[in-house]
Amino acid sequence: MDKIIATVIVLIIVLGLIAFAILPQQEGVKQMGEKGTTEQQKLIQMVNDPNRVMGSTIRSYLNQPGIKVTIGGSGSFDVNKISDSQVYSMKKTYKTDGSIDTVDFTIVDMGSSAQASPSTN
């Protein structure tokens, strides 16, 4: 009888240790799945609306001479706060000759798909 009780206790301890090792990995998988869902939502928005772009697009427009870049309507903003993983809505205005005059970017709130302006300096 003592051997049976000892075996059951050892089995419970072993199963507890296995569960203790597996649970953090399961949480990591859940977090990766949530991140994948967020990235999928970004891609779907960008495919459905060509004016939805990532932060790297803002940086490329900043490097082009003759084009004014604004974020939320303001020309004064901190370039270091531009996030390459953030989705922005882009609106272009053109000169009379057809070339781009101004490109205005607005942060897209992925939670409600509403647009919000970033904080500017």
Give the chain's length. Answer: 121
Domains contained in the chain, number? 2
Phi/psi-derived region of residue 98, left when phi > 0, alpha when psi is between -120 and 50, beta in every other case: left
**Does residue 42 sit in the same domain as residue 82?**
no
**Does residue 111 sit in the same domain as residue 121?**
yes
**Does residue 26 sit in the same domain as residue 82?**
no
pTM score above 0.75: no
**Does residue 24 sit in the same domain as residue 10?**
yes
pLDDT digits (tens, 9 = 90+) for 19-62: 888 877 777 778 888 888 888 888 888 888 889 999 888 888 98
**Does residue 82 sit in the same domain as residue 119?**
yes
**Does residue 43 sit in the same domain as residue 90?**
no
**Where in the sequence is the domain holding 106, given as residue range(s)?**
50-121
**Does residue 91 sit in the same domain as residue 120?**
yes
pLDDT at 95: 92
Q: How would residue 117 be classed by pLDDT, with cut points 50, 70 and 90?
A: very low
Mean pLDDT for the chain overall: 82
